[in-house]
């Protein structure tokens, strides 16, 4: 979600919950300081790729430093503490269990991989409750824009599919021999600087075949002490020496383009759907709900 989409979504949910008798305010993160803006240019999947990030946070995610609290603590802010009241709050937000039964799932098949992509039936919108009403308000007439039961007919499915295709292209890029060669050059540079590099380590803290959750206990991802920060700085210097980011992004783009060329009509319709949604978001105002 972009910043405006987040504000609109939570703003709607706050009003919806108020109608149900709950006073709750979404804990929106503070604005990042100006010196962090460079970091936002790059997707999180690239790991640490800027000197600013390395100097300020080591290998940790920038939001962890800005917020200073865990995601779990932030999510619990302002929630009811009484069990019965909390259950009622959850029902108001997400809807009743009956609204989210398995038979409400709509399954689409990825035309490239053949894998199923499942989502809640949009009626009730995205599972019901305040979140369903919020998503319905945000999407409006942007979903669906075609009558076919396929990926391009549902906004949520389209976004999930695009995210999946991006991840597949990224994984393909990491396995590309040109990227592997650049990673080996980076590793040699790191060893010259006195840093131990595991065989599966990529620049920026990436590892092949391991999910993000598998990396939470890695020393370089813990509280950024002086040594971790210095290692991250050395990492960035070696990335720049071997032109790691430019090479990775160029090769990743090749794999993304190959995917687009396999199903060009579908990508065009998905892009139209996402463009229609973005255009709608641009014109939405929370004040309109009070009118």
**What does the pLDDT profile of the chain (291 residues) look like in tens digits?**
677 888 899 899 999 999 888 888 876 666 666 777 777 778 888 989 999 889 888 887 665 655 554 444 444 556 777 888 888 888 888 877 554 445 566 677 888 888 887 665 545 544 578 988 898 888 876 555 445 567 887 787 888 899 989 999 999 999 999 999 999 999 999 999 999 887 667 899 886 655 444 444 454 445 567 888 999 999 999 999 999 999 999 999 999 999 999 999 999 999 998 898 898 899 999 888 875
The vertex-26 CA angle with 25 and 32, nearest 5°, equals: 130
The confidence score (pLDDT) of residue 69 equals 40
The vertex-226 CA angle with 223 and 228, nearest 5°, equals: 60
- Say if CB 8 and CB 284 are below 8 A apart: yes
Q: What is the rounded CA–CA span in Å between residue 188 and residue 130?
A: 53
The confidence score (pLDDT) of residue 106 equals 66
Structure tokens at 284: 């939405």
Entry pTM: 0.77
Structure-token match 């641009």, residue found: 282
Structure tokens at 152: 């391009």
Contacts of 269 (CB under 8 A, 6+ apart): 145, 146, 152
């Amino acid at each position: 979600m972009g910043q405006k989409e987040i504000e609109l979504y939570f703003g709607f949910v706050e009003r919806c919950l108020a109608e149900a008798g709950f006073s709750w305010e979404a804990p929106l993160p503070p604005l990042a300081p100006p010196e962090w803006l460079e970091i936002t240019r790059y997707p999180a999947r690239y790991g640490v790729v800027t000197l600013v990030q390395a100097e300020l946070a080591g290998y940790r995610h920038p939001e962890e430093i800005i917020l200073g609290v865990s995601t779990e603590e932030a999510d619990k802010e302002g929630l009811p503490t009484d069990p019965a009241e909390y259950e009622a709050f959850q029902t108001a937000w997400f809807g009743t269990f009956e609204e989210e039964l398995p038979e409400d799932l709509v399954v689409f098949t990825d035309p490239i991989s053949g894998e199923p992509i499942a989502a809640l039936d949009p009626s009730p919108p995205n599972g019901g409750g305040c979140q369903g009403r919020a998503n319905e308000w945000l999407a409006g007439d942007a979903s669906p824009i075609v009558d076919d039961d396929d990926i391009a007919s549902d906004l949520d499915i389209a976004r999930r599919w695009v995210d999946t295709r991006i991840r597949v292209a990224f994984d393909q890029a990491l396995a590309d021999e040109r990227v592997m060669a650049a990673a080996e050059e980076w590793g040699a540079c790191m060893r010259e600087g006195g840093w131990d590099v595991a065989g599966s380590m990529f620049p920026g803290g990436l590892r092949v075949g391991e999910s993000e959750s598998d990396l939470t206990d890695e020393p370089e991802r813990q509280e950024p002490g002086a040594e971790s920060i210095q290692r991250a700085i050395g990492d960035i210097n070696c990335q720049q020496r071997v032109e790691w980011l430019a090479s990775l992004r160029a090769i990743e783009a090749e794999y993304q383009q190959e995917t687009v060329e396999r199903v060009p009509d579908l990508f065009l319709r998905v892009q139209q759907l996402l463009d229609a949604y973005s255009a709608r978001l641009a014109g939405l105002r929370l004040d309109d709900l009070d009118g």
